[in-house]
Amino acid sequence: MNARGALGRYGENLAARRLAESGIVILTRNWRCRDGEIDLVGRDVDALVMCEVKTRRAGPYEHPMAAVTPAKARRLRRLAERWLERYGGPPPGGVRIDLVGVVVPRRGAPAVEHVKGVA
């Protein structure tokens, strides 16, 4: 695994931990289909949560939350539809698309931000 892949995996691990701490049960990680990948899929009470994780090193780069453009949001909704086609219709609580942004500084603890319902 290269450095970028390791950084992404680290961010996903932090995101999964943050979601679990907030009560979301992680059902699967890195679910793939022909249209792309969902980083984390979880259950929050009676809602299905599709979670995109963006990890960046601290520095001059854009904040990870800025990476979810309107095109990316459309792709995430399409991926959620594919999941529902494969595993059944939406649960009683519906489907929510969340984003976890992780910023890793040179020193100190990473900043992890969870935003619900981004797309």
pLDDT tens figures, 10-30? 999 999 999 999 999 999 999
> What is the C-alpha to C-alpha distance for residues 98 and 77, in angstroms, rounded to an integer?
11
**Per-residue DSSP letter, 98:** E
In the chain, % of residues over pLDDT 70 = 99
β-sheet bridge partners, residue 54: 101
Please state whether the predicted TM-score (pTM) of the whole model is above 0.85. yes
Can you tell me the distance from the alpha carbon of 72 to that of 60, in angstroms, rounded to the nearest whole number? 22
Confidence of residue 100 (pLDDT cuts 50, 70, 90): very high
How far does the chain reach from its first CA to its final CA, in angstroms? 30
**Domain map (residue ranges) of the chain:** 3-115
The answer to whether 95 and 51 have CB atoms below 8 angstroms apart is no
Q: How far apart are CA 78 and CA 61, in angstroms?
A: 28
Residue 52's pLDDT band, with cuts at 50, 70 and 90, is: very high
Choices 3.30.1060.10, 3.40.50.2300, 3.40.1350.10, 3.40.50.12780: CATH for 3-115: 3.40.1350.10
At 12 the pLDDT is 96
